[in-house]
Structure 1
Amino acid sequence: MNRRQQTNRFYKTGFFIVLTILMIILSILLIGAIRLFGNVASDPRERPTTNSENEELLSFQMTLDQSNLLLDNLLEEDIPFYFYLAEDGVYLEGEVDAVLSSIDVAMRFEPTVQEDGSLLLEADNLSAGFLSISPETALRMFNQIAELPEWIYLYPSEEHVVIDLRMIEELEPFGLRFNDVNLSEDVLDISLIQ
């Protein structure tokens, strides 16, 4: 009889231990899903309006390698993603923390020079590990986890990024503007403006 009571107590204890472990795992998954796919404020940081008719002081051309070196030096090290230019587009790659691991996210953008000299990057392709997420969701996650430099603007709902080199504080009172971006020809035409 005593042995039977010990066996029943063992099963009851085991049941509650397994139930507790399952509740903890379920809670972690729920918190992770809320954190990963939670609704982030959709109001992007607004770009200040600047005079697009600034005086051009110097015009120069850069190759993709030189541009990537410049981007590496301009981006802060604590940003969890990086931009780089290739012949087939501009890439944004990084890691997003998920529930039990991190997800590698890579986006490809098609660059277009705007009239004001900024570079509009329109999302063209996205890969996010094994997950199926939209470029809008990926940009929202990047916007949530990173403090961006003052010259990078993410617009998740429009699925694009704007790089405005005129806003780099370290260059004031000068700025840089894009004149032409031809990645297939390995040429970026940039002007120093005042």
Structure 2
Amino acid sequence: MNDTTPKSDDQQELSSDEVRTPEAVEPERIFLVVVDDSEEMQIALRFACRRAEHTGGRVALLYVIESTEFTHWMSVGDLIQEEAREQAEKVLDDLLENVQEMSGKMPVVYIREGDRRDELLKLIDEEEQISILVLAARAGSGGPGPLVSALTGKFVGKIHVPITLVPDNLTIEEIDMIS
């Protein structure tokens, strides 16, 4: 069949093996790391940064300020929460440059208040762009840690993103090699 429709100057003829599609922007993969003071968090962070760098993704950091039940003197409770918030911001500020250097991009930062597990689950439900949760698991006799135990145990059905568990006995070289 012969197409006799006149073509304007800005229309181009496509050969049979060319297909013109609108440029689709693929959403960025977000690797979420829960920030705490554990040694294994550094392992999870390195793995997430390296994966983000190699896949064009971005790292997200979640810091959860544990709620305090200090109701006798409200002003003291407020002061404790304010100090905890300042501490969270300081910890995250210390990590930002390191994460940007390792991953090539500034991380997304979340600060929440409450129970770590509950706030993590809420964040993953609210932020659809989070693609993967990266946690490090203690390899020793103490077990993998309470968050890993909860999320791979009775709360596994409440999480709708893949979880990457990185054993804390890996060396930096091994992490770099596999990520």
Identify whether the pair has TM-score above 0.5, normalized to the shorter chain: no
Identify, as 1 or 2, the structure richer in strand: 1
Identify, as 1 or 2, the structure richer in helix: 2
Task: Please say which structure displays the higher CA radius of gyration.
Answer: 1
- Tell me the TM-score normalized by structure 1: 0.27
- Tell me the TM-score normalized by structure 2: 0.28
Query: Higher relative contact order by CA 8 Å / sep ≥ 6: 1 or 2?
Result: 2
